[in-house]
Amino acid sequence: MYKLPPDAELLTIQEASQRLGKGFSRTSILRRISSGQWKEGLHWVDARRNDSMNRLIRINVTAVLNGFTTPAAFR
């Protein structure tokens, strides 16, 4: 299991969309999650309670932004 780093900043999808700006709408964030481009436990977490059926997605904005520091040829 992946352990979140201490500097992880977890935001709701709406908050992450506003923080990340153009190109990161709610739809594009959900598409990145469902396609597997963003990995669970690294880029996003499911913060729901054990007895809940609905996902409560939190985006790790720190990990998403760190992805931009890697040159495109190496991503």
Q: How far out from the chain centre does Cα 10 lie? A: 8
Instruction: Report the pLDDT value the prediction gives residue 71, as an integer from 0 to 100.
Output: 73
Dig out the tokens for 65 from the structure.
Answer: 């932004």
Q: Tell me which residue has tokens 């690294």.
A: 42
pLDDT at residue 50, as a whole number: 87
Mind listing the pLDDT tens digit for each residue in 25-70? 999 999 999 999 999 989 999 988 888 888 899 999 999 998 877 7
Measured between alpha carbons, how far is 68 from 51 in angstroms, rounded to an integer?
36
**What is the Cα–Cα distance from 35 to 11, expressed in whole angstroms?**
20
Can you give the pTM of this predicted structure? 0.83
| 3-class DSSP assignment, residue 45 | strand
